[in-house]
Amino acid sequence: MKKFLFLMTLLFSSLVSVNAQIATQNSNALDNVYVGVTGGVSTPLDFNSVFPLNANAGLVVGKEFNPYVGMNIEGLAMFNDNHFSDAKTFVKATNVGLNGTLNLSNAFAGYKGTPRAVEFGAVAGFGWLHVWDAHTNFLTAKTGVDVKFNLGKNKANTIMLTPAVYWNLNKIGNVKFNKNHAQLALNVTYVYHFKTSNGTHHFKTYDVGAMNDEINDLRARLDECEKREPKIIEKVIIKEVPQQAATNAVATAQGEWGVKFAFNSAELTDEAKVALDKVPAGAEVDLEGFSSQDGNAKYNQKLSQKRADAVAKYLTDKGVQVKSAVGKGVPYTRTVEIKTAK
């Protein structure tokens, strides 16, 4: 019994050490569930009386926790009584067992994301046997191997061949494994794997090792970029500024100049000052100020005079002799014309 418990411990702890570089995709509680129908024959393990074979049939419901370890509930009905039971009922006995399963193919060769066409596994567990004529109950155990044939492109269907030993552990009182109270069975089981939340009938995996290698490669590239000397790129933008119109800043004809004012303003603009600087010192000039047609005539007359006076003051400060500065009002635009005095 201690050896059997030790075997069970190894069976369920094997997941810890297998394929540490492969991670399975997270799954829901109802993912990777399967159902199956099973049937087979058994004979006494001591082979003292091989025939007639004891027939059995039943159902299996299970779940795979990952590509390596799973669990199932198996219910069997036994029909014959060769070294098994003297019951007069059609069903001589029933056995319900809770079994752990280990996929040996995945444990030793790794799981690549899709079940193999042929896989090998191990199964072991405990059960409850009820003999119907005497209504007696016994503790049982199952030890065996599974040979799985996964069918189809999506591997949703499996035919499983299972040779196993069913042990009656307490038929003679003490709990122990005794070949004189055991049946060697061979069962064939059809299993259907329900579709999972990932869209398949099995586990999907991630290669953690490959992902870590990619992350390390990206980190190395980032470190290399951080060590590089930064490149300073100078970009010179040359913006072409159009020249001001002649009426704003330059002489309009030989001996004549003109400057323009902002709307409703008598203050000289920078462009106007540039134009006035072109009038040579010592020159004698007459000034005529104008305004636009906006507003009433009296206001426009005053504004045109202010403009003429502003130009006169600027030119006088520059050494130009202003003979006259007269505001003309409208109809010209916002200008002051400068003419050589006659």
Instruction: Name the DSSP letter for residue 160.
Output: E
Residue 314 has pLDDT above 80, yes or no: yes
**According to the model, what pLDDT value does residue 248 have?**
41
Specify the pTM: 0.54
Tens of pLDDT along 113-165? 889 999 999 999 999 999 887 778 889 999 999 999 999 888 999 999 999 99
CB 93 within 8 A of CB 131: yes
CB 18 within 8 A of CB 106: yes
Query: Which amino acid is it at 91?
Result: V
Average pLDDT, integer, range 217-228: 81
**According to the model, what pLDDT value does residue 321 have?**
87
Best CA proximity match to 119, nearest among 129, 131, 110, 106: 106
Residue 58 main-chain phi, psi, to 5 deg: 180, -165
Same CATH fold, 246-340 and 2-208?
Answer: no
Count the neighbouring beta carbons within 10 Å of the beta carbon of residue 27: 16
Distance between CA atoms of residues 329 and 308, nearest Å: 11
Fold of 2-208: Porin (2.40.160)
Instruction: Give the Cα-Cα-Cα angle 92, 95, 100 (nearest 5 degrees).
Output: 160
**According to the model, what pLDDT value does residue 173 have?**
66
Residue keyed to tokens 């067992």: 97
Bigger pLDDT: 246 vs 196: 196
CB 137 within 8 A of CB 129: yes
Q: Name residues whose C-beta falls within 8 Å of residue 158's C-beta, 6 or more positions apart in sequence.
A: 34, 36, 148, 149, 150, 151, 190, 191, 192, 193
Burial bucket for residue 30 (CB in 10 Å: 0-12, 13-18, 19+): exposed
Query: Counting runs of H as helices and runs of E as strands, what totals does the chain give?
Result: 6, 15
Distance between CA atoms of residues 254 and 175, nearest Å: 131
Cα dist. 232→186, 223, 235, 237 in Å? Answer: 79, 20, 10, 16
CATH classification for the domain delimited by 246-340, as one of 3.40.50.720, 3.40.50.2300, 3.30.565.10, 3.30.1330.60 = 3.30.1330.60
> Helix, strand, or coil here: 116?
coil
Backbone angle region of 301, left / alpha / beta, with phi > 0 → left and psi within -120 to 50 → alpha: alpha
Distance between CA atoms of residues 39 and 186, nearest Å: 8
Average pLDDT, integer, range 302-310: 87
* Residue ranges per structural domain of the chain: 2-208, 246-340
Q: How confident is the model at residue 216 (pLDDT cuts 50, 70, 90)?
A: confident
Average pLDDT, integer, range 58-68: 93
Distance between CA atoms of residues 193 and 156, nearest Å: 5
Average pLDDT, integer, range 156-182: 87
